[in-house]
């Protein structure tokens, strides 16, 4: 009952809703997720079950890849299709070569390390309260810009006043805000009509299970299998432990480091399946040892 699950989140559910569904499917309260998805968005949500929840801070969740539909002609208070229209402006004629050149230029200005003002309806804190809570009460929210990284855009399709794009970015980037800012840069107005997360680090939505498959008990009864945390720890060094090292790890003692790297996934071998299992995370010390930061031994949950 320890491992990861990739879930294909449908429209309308919060990330917390998915966690609740997985808890019932696994019959355990020890469930967490990496990387929140807005209710209007769909796609990949990485969920950890059991002791694997302690690995979530070490999950490689970048870069993130999103498919988005940007609709021009209107801006909304949420920067997506769930909000109320706040500005209306004529959509650009994307069949015009001059407009196409503008689009390429302004996408370039929204690539790399950029300053981005988060949406008012976001989880950012303002004086100790979530921005979206203030916005829903009608209180004006003026969030300061934050630095985010957009690795690249791919234009997939143009249909009328809508662009379908694929955006690769770092965590903390709001694709909704990119849609809003692209609309403004083009002298129009725009919002994110649809958003789907395709990848997060080494995890891919093509490997995800549907929420429909996660009926109560489905994981506990092995109808839905959990994945090895190694799937999302591939960028970390791997140290296979012998029996002596496993005993030291169980006591929280440091372990000799035999592979390069500043941090390592500490592994043992399942005697039945011969599969490698993550039993801890270690950080390299100055005397070339792994100091345990997470220990996943001795817990049956």
Reply yes or no on whether 231 is catalytic.
no
Widest pairwise Cα distance in the chain: 70
Give the separation between CA 96 and CA 261, rounded to whole angstroms: 52
Return the number of other C-beta atoms located less than 10 Å from residue 206's C-beta. Answer: 10
The pair of three-digit structure tokens given for residue 237, joined into one six-digit string: 């060094």
pLDDT of residue 187: 97
The pair of three-digit structure tokens given for residue 98, joined into one six-digit string: 């001059």
Among 8, 17, 38, 77, the active-site one is: 38
pLDDT of residue 262: 94
pTM of the complete model: 0.89
Q: Name which of 190, 185, 191 is nearest 102 in CA terms.
A: 185
The pair of three-digit structure tokens given for residue 156, joined into one six-digit string: 């997939």
Q: Name which of 194, 185, 187 is nearest 163 in CA terms.
A: 194
17, 120, 163, 188 from 145: Cα distances, Å: 30, 12, 25, 21
Give the separation between CA 213 and CA 7, rounded to whole angstroms: 10
The pair of three-digit structure tokens given for residue 300, joined into one six-digit string: 């049956």
Q: Please give the full DSSP string across 256-286, using - where no structure is assigned.
A: E--S-SSEEEEEEE-TTT--EEEEEEEEE-T
Give the separation between CA 250 and CA 256, rounded to whole angstroms: 14
pLDDT of residue 272: 85
Give the separation between CA 12 and CA 135, rounded to whole angstroms: 20
Write out the chain's pLDDT in tens, 301 residues.
789 999 999 999 999 999 999 999 999 999 999 988 989 999 999 999 999 999 999 988 889 999 999 999 999 989 999 999 999 999 999 999 999 999 999 999 999 999 999 887 665 545 455 555 545 555 566 778 999 999 999 999 999 999 999 999 998 999 999 999 999 999 999 999 999 999 999 899 999 999 999 999 999 999 999 999 988 887 889 999 999 999 999 999 999 999 999 999 999 998 888 889 999 999 999 999 999 999 998 653 3
Collapse the DSSP code of 107 into the 3-class scheme (helix H, G, I; strand E, B; otherwise coil) and give the result.
helix
CB burial of 73-94 (b: ≥16 within 10 Å; e: otherwise) equals bbbbbbbbbebeeebebebbeb
The half-sphere exposure of 86 on its side-chain side, counting CA atoms within 13 A, is: 14
70, 184, 192, 270 from 79: Cα distances, Å: 10, 12, 6, 48
Q: Name which of 86, 106, 200, 206 is nearest 155 in CA terms.
A: 106
Collapse the DSSP code of 100 into the 3-class scheme (helix H, G, I; strand E, B; otherwise coil) and give the result.
helix
């Amino acid at each position: 009952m320890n491992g990861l699950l990739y879930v294909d989140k449908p429209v309308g559910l919060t990330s917390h809703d998915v966690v609740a569904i997985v808890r019932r499917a696994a019959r355990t309260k020890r469930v967490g997720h990496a990387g929140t998805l807005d209710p209007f968005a769909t796609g990949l949500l990485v969920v950890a079950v059991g002791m694997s929840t302690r690995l979530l801070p070490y999950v490689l969740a970048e870069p993130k890849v999103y498919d988005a539909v940007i609709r021009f002609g209107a801006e909304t208070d949420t920067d997506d299709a769930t909000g109320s229209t706040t500005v209306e402006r004529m959509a650009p004629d994307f069949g015009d070569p001059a407009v196409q050149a503008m689009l390429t230029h302004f996408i370039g200005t929204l690539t790399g390390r950029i300053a981005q003002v988060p949406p008012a309806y976001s989880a950012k804190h303002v004086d100790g309260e979530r921005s979206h809570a203030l916005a829903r009460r009608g209180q004006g929210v003026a969030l300061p810009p934050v630095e985010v990284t957009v690795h690249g855009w791919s234009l997939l399709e143009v249909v009328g006043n809508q662009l379908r794009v694929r955006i690769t970015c770092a965590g903390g980037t709001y694709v909704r805000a990119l849609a809003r800012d692209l609309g403004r840069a083009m002298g129009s107005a725009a919002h994110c009509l649809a958003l789907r997360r395709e990848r997060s680090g080494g995890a891919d939505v093509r490997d995800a299970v549907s929420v429909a498959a996660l009926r109560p008990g489905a994981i506990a009864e092995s109808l839905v299998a959990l994945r090895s945390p190694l799937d999302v720890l591939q960028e970390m060094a791997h140290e296979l432990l012998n029996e002596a090292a496993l005993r030291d790890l169980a006591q929280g003692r440091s372990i000799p480091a035999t592979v390069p790297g500043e941090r390592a996934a500490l592994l043992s071998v399942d005697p039945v399946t011969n599969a490698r299992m993550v039993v801890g995370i270690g950080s390299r010390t100055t005397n070339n040892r792994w100091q345990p930061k997470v220990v996943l031994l001795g817990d049956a949950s």
